[in-house]
Amino acid sequence: MASDGAFMLVADDGRVIEWSASAQETFGLSPQEAVGRRVGELVRDGGGGAGAGAGAGVHRGASVSLAVRPVLTGSALVWEVGTGGGADDGWTSAVLRTLSTCSPMIFHVLDRELRIVQVSCDSDGGSASLLGEVFPDAYGLTTPAEEEKAARGVLATGEPALDRVVRARVPGGSRSKHYSLSYIRLEDADGDVLGLVVLALDVTDRMRALQRLEVLEAVRGSVGEHLDVIAVCRALTDAVVPGFCGIATVDVIEDVVRGEDPPLAPVPLDVPLLRTAFRGPVAAHPVGEVSRVPDGTPFSRVLADLRPRLVPVERDSLWLPADPARAAAIEQSAAHSLIVAPLALRGRAMGVVSFYRHGTEEHFEEEDIALAADVCAHVAVCIDNARRFTRERTIAVAMKRRLLPQRPAVTSAVDFTHLHLPGPGGGGAWFDVIELAGARTALVLGDVAGRGIATTTTMGQLRTVIHSLAALDLEPDELMARLSDTAARLAAERAALPAGDSLHDQPLTAGCLIAVYDAVEQRCTIVRAGLSDPYVVHPDGRAALVPVPEGPVLAGSDHAPFPAATVELPEGSILALGNEDLPASTGLLCPLLAEGVDQSLEDVCDTIAYALRDRHETEKLLLLARVRAFPADRVLVLPLPAEEQAAPLARAATRRQLEAWNIGEEDAFTAEIIVSELVGNAVRYGGPPLGLRLVLDHHLTCEVSDAAQCAPHLKHARTVDEDGRGLFIIASLADSWGTRYCGNGKTVWAQQSMSPAP
């Protein structure tokens, strides 16, 4: 029966199926006279009265407002017509009618078994065929079990489930649809559950737009994190597969991968392309292979006009025979849709990207071309950044290779080798082995923070300064102080650059370690600025840290001194200098050095390199030097009186020693003159005690020491002058000469080459 206040129940075809007593009183018709007739006739006629218009009935000559609402009885939807409660009753009917006919939503009425008993007209006009079907199956939902569970949950709890986005298969179509489903429980006036109202909204376009946006965001979020062309291309394929396509290939012009400028379009057909990335089941060319694009294919066309295109992939496609390898891969992977897009920037082509869909994937649409173009535009910028970085890194590496020692000095004082593990993007670490006079050797290791051309240039400047200062024969601490002054000037120049210069905000930071080994004394003087302490391995295998007071980094603002430390190094000891504290960070260096005390330094370096595998996050440089003791029979040490007879005594001792060393007469005569002039200057301008030392190495070094601190300087004497020619004569006869200062005086030395022995 109709609810209280209701007049009648009307079937879907407009015929009355139930007539109440209140309806009989209002219209003057008995149930026998009303049931089966169309409601329009009864309401209009009102039992013979005048018509009252739509939405109104006539009650014994007076108009009566009527209200209409749908009611589910069993498995059928009927309409309940009752007396209106006010002016809104007509609006209720109008709203229901409008929503069911004009709303983009499709209204469904389900019974308690989830069968469709009523549906509004959908966009495909197939609503009638859905009646009686179970709702999740009727639309071909890809997750019917989940939707049935959700619907039954609403039936049980009464809590609506709103805006559930689901995917539905379209029978006979190549594309699927997405619906937003909302489930609302349907109850009668007594609160009994009658079924569900399901509102379905086609959100296919919205979901596809959202998916395209997600793909673009994935590309922008992951592509470009690495300054490497190949890494950028791999990130692209990872970002678009499987969200946008099932297969993706990236081919980049080979010169671009090496950092060269990309060519202008159109790109000649003979330009080689490198397969930099691929993701999918079957590849026409493996990653890393270099090939050329065949003429008459979409790929050659894209490199000619830089325009992306949607390409049909069918057996009779005209371009497939021109590229047999790709045609075979397409057939094996069942690819059916292809978008080819260029990697281009400012009219210059860098490569081409191919997006394939295969198997059960949906075909590409025209809207997907715009997405592919946006993706490739972003990737092109990332590739250009990586290309520029690669080019700069290549230049920096080439510069560094030229700046580092090409043929390190061969000294009789030390055997040495180095281990260099380049980090990402290079770095500013360097080393030098500089032969000094008197069987001494300077071991230098430095590191400029940063990477790139600017870092390499700074490293070259500092290395040049060290060579210039080493020629002055300065003590290690003074040499380091002068080097720090130079670094401070370079830092000031960098800070004075315009604000737009990339180096303006990059402070110059550098470290250095200098060790000078005296093979005659078997002592090593070490000074460091910012770098870690060196390690020494004694001949008996004991490895220990050499405690050297830490000085400030180069270019530091505190102008602190650089204290030096002197250690005894017996013959066979190994000194290890590194730009990082490798023993503390790895725990490997000390044991490996101790084990390698009887091995060649090259083998020790190989062993350490094996232990440091997969640790290339930073540049690592290690300098190993095994020291030797200078032969005692190659050194003459002679104390001299601070008197005029010192020169004849020195000449006589030199003559005897050179004869014992089997030095030729001409070289011996030159050495006597040099010794005579050095001793004469010491007697005249120096202070006691005086001493002579001769050291025969690759050169003959003559050294005269005294206690005075005054600096000798070379003068060009006039013809009428009787003195002032001593150092001038020495400079003319010797290969090099200089002055070395120590705490108790100075040593003036001259180095002379020896003629080959007959």
Tens digit of each residue's pLDDT (9 = 90 or more) over 444-502 = 999 998 877 888 888 889 999 999 998 888 899 999 999 999 998 988 888 888 877 77
Poorest-confidence range of 227-231, 283-287, 540-544? 540-544
Q: What angle do CA 590, 594, 599 make, to 5 degrees?
A: 130
For residue 28, how many other CB atoms are within 10 A of its CB? Answer: 15
Contacts of 435 (CB under 8 A, 6+ apart): 409, 411, 413, 441, 442
Q: How far is CA 197 from CA 130, 163, 599, in A?
A: 15, 13, 86
What is the b/e burial string over 508-529, where b = at least 16 CB atoms within 10 angstroms of the residue's CB? bbbbbbbbbbbbbbbebbbbbb
Residue 664 · residue 710 · CB < 8 Å: no
> How far is C-alpha 329 from the chain's CA centre?
32
State the pLDDT confidence band at 98, using cuts at 50, 70 and 90: low
| Residues 261-286: tens digit of each pLDDT | 999 999 999 999 999 999 999 888 99
Residue 213 tokens, joined = 């946006």
Q: Which domains does the chain have, with CATH numbers?
A: 1-102 (3.30.450), 105-202 (3.30.450.20), 209-393 (3.30.450.40), 410-627 (3.60.40.10), 632-753 (3.30.565.10)
For residue 461, how many other CB atoms are within 10 A of its CB? Answer: 16
147: three-class secondary structure by DSSP: helix
Residue 340 · residue 298 · CB < 8 Å: yes
State the pLDDT confidence band at 519, using cuts at 50, 70 and 90: very high
Between strands 523-529 and 550-551, the pairing is parallel
| Residues 287-340: tens digit of each pLDDT | 999 999 999 999 999 999 999 999 988 888 889 999 999 999 999 999 999 999
State the pLDDT confidence band at 398, using cuts at 50, 70 and 90: confident
Q: Which of 529-538, 587-596, 716-725 has the highest mean pLDDT?
A: 529-538
Residue 606 tokens, joined = 């190989």
Indicate the helix (H) or strand (E) that contains 312. Answer: strand 309-312
Q: How far apart are CA 510 and CA 505, in angstroms?
A: 16
pLDDT at 371 over 60: yes
DSSP string, 115-142: BEEEE---TTS--GGGTTSBHHHHTTBS
DSSP string, 70-99: EEEETTEEEEEEEE--STTHHHHHHHHHHH
617: three-class secondary structure by DSSP: coil
3-state helix vs strand vs coil in the chain, percent to 5: 35, 30, 35
**Tokens 């997907």 -> residue:** 368
Residue 687 · residue 707 · CB < 8 Å: yes
Q: How far apart are CA 342 and CA 264, in angstroms?
A: 13
Predicted confidence at residue 65, as pLDDT, reads 61
Predicted confidence at residue 75, as pLDDT, reads 53
Per-residue pLDDT averaged across 505-522, rounded? 90
List the beta bridge partners of residue 69. Answer: 80
Per-residue pLDDT averaged across 331-359, rounded? 94
Predicted confidence at residue 59, as pLDDT, reads 47
Residue 143 tokens, joined = 């997750």
State the pLDDT confidence band at 402, using cuts at 50, 70 and 90: confident
Poorest-confidence range of 28-32, 67-71, 165-169, 302-306? 67-71
Q: What is the 3-state secondary structure (H, E, C) of 528-593?
A: EECCCCCEEECCCCCEEECCCCEECCECCCCCCCCCEEEEECCCCCEEEEECCCHHHHHCCHHHHH
Residue 720 · residue 696 · CB < 8 Å: no
Poorest-confidence range of 308-312, 379-383, 681-685, 723-727? 723-727
How many CA atoms, within 13 angstroms, populate the side-chain half-sphere of residue 211?
Answer: 15
Residue 684 · residue 723 · CB < 8 Å: no
Q: How far is CA 187 from CA 7, 9, 72, 105, 549, in A?
A: 20, 17, 8, 21, 89
Could you tell me which residue, 188 or 44, shows the higher pLDDT?
188
pLDDT at 512 over 90: yes
Classify residue 380 by its DSSP letter: H
Q: How far apart are CA 584 and CA 594, in angstroms?
A: 15
Mean pLDDT across the chain: 83
Predicted confidence at residue 48, as pLDDT, reads 41
What is the side-by-side order of every strand in the sheet holding 273-279? 290-291, 273-279, 247-253, 348-358, 335-345, 309-312
State the pLDDT confidence band at 660, using cuts at 50, 70 and 90: very high
How many CA atoms, within 13 angstroms, populate the side-chain half-sphere of residue 12?
Answer: 9
Single-letter amino acid, residue 263: P
The pTM (predicted TM-score) of the whole model is 0.64
Contacts of 323 (CB under 8 A, 6+ apart): 284, 294, 297, 299
> How far is C-alpha 23 from the chain's CA centre?
81
Q: What is the 3-state secondary structure (H, E, C) of 205-271?
A: HHHHHHHHHHHHHHHHHHCCCCCCHHHHHHHHHHHHCCCCCCEEEEEEEHHHHCCCCCCECCCCCCC
What is the b/e burial string over 249-282, where b = at least 16 CB atoms within 10 angstroms of the residue's CB? bbbbbbbbbebeebbebebeeebebbbbbbbbee
Q: How far apart are CA 375 and CA 213, in angstroms?
A: 10
Report the residue count for the chain. Answer: 758
Could you tell me which residue, 397 or 686, shows the higher pLDDT?
686
Q: What angle do CA 389, 394, 399 make, to 5 degrees?
A: 125
Predicted confidence at residue 607, as pLDDT, reads 85
Residue 598 · residue 406 · CB < 8 Å: no
Could you tell me which residue, 636 or 587, shows the higher pLDDT?
636
Residue 422 · residue 616 · CB < 8 Å: yes
Burial label, 298 (beta-carbon count in 10 A; 0-12, 13-18, 19+): buried
Q: How far apart are CA 303 and CA 280, in angstroms?
A: 23
Could you tell me which residue, 61 or 336, shows the higher pLDDT?
336
| Of the candidates 248, 275, 278, 273, the residue with the CA atom closest to the CA atom of residue 338 | 248
| Residues 199-209: tens digit of each pLDDT | 888 888 888 88
Poorest-confidence range of 412-416, 627-631, 707-711? 707-711
Contacts of 253 (CB under 8 A, 6+ apart): 262, 263, 267, 271, 272, 273, 274, 349, 350, 351
Residue 8 · residue 34 · CB < 8 Å: yes
Q: How far apart are CA 743 and CA 758, in angstroms?
A: 42
Predicted confidence at residue 123, as pLDDT, reads 46
Could you tell me which residue, 731 or 650, shows the higher pLDDT?
650
Per-residue pLDDT averaged across 681-703, rounded? 90
| Residues 713-735: tens digit of each pLDDT | 665 544 444 445 667 788 888 88
185: three-class secondary structure by DSSP: strand
Q: How far is CA 155 from CA 142, 166, 192, 585, 618, in A?
A: 22, 19, 11, 65, 63
Q: Which of 90-99, 150-159, 186-195 has the highest mean pLDDT?
A: 150-159
Predicted confidence at residue 94, as pLDDT, reads 59
